Amino acid sequence: MCIELFSLRDKVALVTGAGKGLGKSMALALAESGAHVAVVSRTRSDIETTAQEIQESGVKSMSIVADVTKQDDVARMVEKVLGELKTIDILVNNVGTYVFGHCLESSLEDWHKMLEVNLTSTYLCSKAVGKHMAERQRGKIINVSSALGVFGAGGSTAYCASKGGVIQLTRALAIEWAKYNIMVNSIAPYSMETEMTKTMLEDEKIKKAIISKIPLKRIGKPSDLSGVVVFLASKASDYITGQVIFVDGGFSVQ
């Protein structure tokens, strides 16, 4: 019976930024747990590959090209998913970007880019999908934030602000939408091996400095989020909302 709590059989999930990295890994984990998954990215080739791999798990999948920082794109995305898969039970807001920069040296353009990609996209997708979930009186929303959204870091001013915003948005929506039986939670990774961090982690000095802050002494892998996203999407987390779960190798406890 306990295993059934984690089953996502015949649920429908929508995962943004699912062409590669963390989003792809989470989309595949949801599919392996039985969910039908719609994957979204701006790059068609990436999400078509992800969608094909999802189908190999024996569930339905669909790929959607969209820029989730644009309200019209988000509206079309939700319409397409509802048209083909009929409902959305789970939303994973994973789209994100990072631009290194100290506050005094960074540009307003970089500031706006990080807010739009990391925070505005989460707001727009949550609002569009949340309306559908509120009508059905149930749903799970999982926002990918960052440990740096809580603890901060030099050279990451805009990133920290945007991810901190994701965490506060998560908490506010959890309170607002509890009456609709919608649970809203956040996953907060620290450093992860992805395409976005590849160049940075190739610098051994930087990699060593990052690992020195992690008690488990390794960089995270996209697969490290698999169990957490399935847990938050499933019945096993039905009494959990407004929470931030750190997946950071112990970085946050120091």
Catalytic residues: 159
Q: What number of other Cβ atoms are within 10 A of residue 253's Cβ?
A: 8
Which residues are paired to 184 by β-bridges? Answer: 141
Structure tokens at 252: 């946050």
Cβ neighbors of 35 (< 8 A, separation 6 or more) are 8, 9, 10, 11, 12, 13, 59, 89, 90, 233
Three-class DSSP category at 182? strand
CA-based nearest residue to 129, from 54, 200, 180: 180
Of residues 113, 158, 121, 87, the one with CA closest to residue 18: 121
Helices (H) and strands (E) in the chain, counts: 10, 7
Cβ neighbors of 214 (< 8 A, separation 6 or more) are: 190, 191, 248, 249, 250, 251
